[in-house]
Each structure stands twice: as C-alpha cells, then as structure tokens.
C-alpha cells in the first residue's frame, strides 16, 4: 500500500500543483522538529526543511517510490542537518552554549506539556545523539526500525541496539532526576 506522501507526490508529478502544498503541510512540522534535534536552532531547522522540499522539487527523478515519502524526506533532512553542523563547527572554533530562541521555546512548550514530558525531553537531550535520533524516529515519528535505519544509515540490528541502549540511557537519566520507572 502506498503512503499518503508518495500519493501526493505522484499527483504533483502528474500536474496537480496543490498536491505539493498538501505534502508540505503534511510533513513540514514533523521534519522541523526532527531537524531541530540536530541543529538546536528552530530558524535553522526551518531553513533546512525548506531546502529539503526544494530538493524534492528540483530533483524529481531521485525519489523512486521504494521507501515512504517521510523516510525519504528525513534522509535528506538528516544529511542536510549534518552538513549544517559541520559548517557551524568550522565557523565557531570554540563551541558556545546557545540560548534557545523564543521560537524554539514556544515550539518546545507546545510539544512538551507536562512535567514528565519535560523530564523526558531533558533526558533525551542528555543522551548521545545517535540514541536520541533513533528514539525520535521510532517513537515520535513512528517510523519502522527499517525506515529509521535508512534515515540513519544503519541496519535493523544496529537500530535495535541503538534503541535498547537509548531507552536504557533515558531511564538512567530519569531515575537520576528522581522518577521511578
């Protein structure tokens, strides 16, 4: 069965321009939230997400309909976010702790509502990036282990290990903060 995103993209390729707008509405926010986990700056995450959709417009032949549209967009986004991180490291030889922007705080407040969610958010930010990204893709974006593995360039066994270790690390952080799980 074809996913909604692929169906919309196919309709766009057949000439229905409004289908692309609907595709953007469907995936824009989840993509920005995912990218923000990498770049930790909501404005940069929005810019990268826009680049991902431009990539889809400019290089129409690259999407082959073998993976879900969501997986494809997140793969492109991850690659762009990693490139952004590399550029930032070159520009700032001494990394500074950036204060979250007002937009980022509003996004976090909207998504993370109660105390346990805030603690979970802090715990996710305290664990290694690979664990955090794996957990985000599988539990927040509801990608399969296979699709999450494609995004992260890992096989299913590696994803299983990352998720196991990630959950264990989150549990340890939460227990350290006084939550009993």
Task: State how many domains the chain has.
Answer: 2
Task: Say yes or no: 86 and 127 in one domain.
Answer: no
Residue where one domain finishes, among candidates 95, 120, 148: 95
pLDDT band at 181 (very low <50, low <70, confident <90, very high): low
Residue where one domain finishes, among candidates 66, 95, 124: 95
pLDDT of residue 1: 45
* Dihedral over alpha carbons 75, 166, 179, 122 (to 10 degrees): -40
Whether residue 167 has pLDDT greater than 70: yes
Contact 45, 37 (CB under 8 A): no
* Structural domain span for residue 145: 112-181
* Type and span of the H or E element at 117: helix 115-126
Q: Which distant-in-sequence residues (6+ apart) come within 8 Å of 85 by Cβ?
A: 38, 39
Mean predicted confidence (pLDDT) in 13-27:
94
Whether residue 10 has pLDDT greater than 70: yes
Task: Say yes or no: 12 and 72 in one domain.
Answer: yes
Tens of pLDDT, residue by residue over 67-76, are: 899 999 999 9
Instruction: Give the mean pLDDT of the chain.
Output: 84
SS3 assignment for 8-58: HHHHHHCCCHHHHHHHHHHHHHHHHHHHHHHHCCHHHHHHHHHHHHHHHHH
pLDDT of residue 27: 94
Whether residue 29 has pLDDT greater than 80: yes
Contacts of 41-49 with CB under 8 Å at 24 or more apart are 41/98, 41/101, 41/104, 42/101, 42/103, 42/104, 42/107, 43/101, 43/103, 44/84, 45/81, 48/77, 48/80, 48/81, 48/84, 49/77
Task: Say yes or no: 90 and 116 in one domain.
Answer: no
Task: Say yes or no: 128 and 88 in one domain.
Answer: no
Query: Could you identify the residue written with the tokens 């980022």?
Result: 104
Whether residue 103 has pLDDT greater than 70: no
Distance CA 137, CA 75 (A): 11
Asked if the structure places residue 106 within a domain, the reply is: no
Task: Say yes or no: 124 and 174 in one domain.
Answer: yes
Whether residue 83 has pLDDT greater than 70: yes
pLDDT of residue 173: 87
């Amino acid at each position: 069965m074809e996913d909604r995103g692929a169906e919309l993209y196919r309709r766009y390729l057949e000439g229905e321009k409004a289908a692309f707008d609907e595709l953007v509405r469907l995936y824009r926010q989840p993509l920005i939230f995912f990218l923000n986990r990498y770049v930790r700056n909501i404005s940069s995450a929005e810019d990268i997400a826009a680049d991902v959709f431009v990539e889809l417009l400019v290089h129409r032949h690259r999407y082959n309909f073998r993976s879900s549209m969501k997986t494809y967009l997140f793969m492109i986004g991850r690659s762009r976010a990693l490139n952004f991180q590399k550029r930032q490291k070159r520009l700032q030889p001494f990394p500074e702790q950036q204060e979250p922007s007002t937009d980022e705080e509003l996004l976090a407040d909207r998504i993370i509502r109660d105390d346990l969610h805030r603690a979970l958010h802090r715990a996710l930010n305290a664990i290694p990036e690979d664990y955090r990204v794996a957990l985000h893709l599988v539990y927040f974006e509801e990608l399969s282990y296979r699709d999450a593995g494609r995004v992260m360039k890992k096989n299913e066994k590696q994803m299983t290990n990352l998720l196991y270790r990630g959950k264990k690390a989150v549990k340890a952080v939460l227990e350290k903060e006084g939550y009993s799980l």
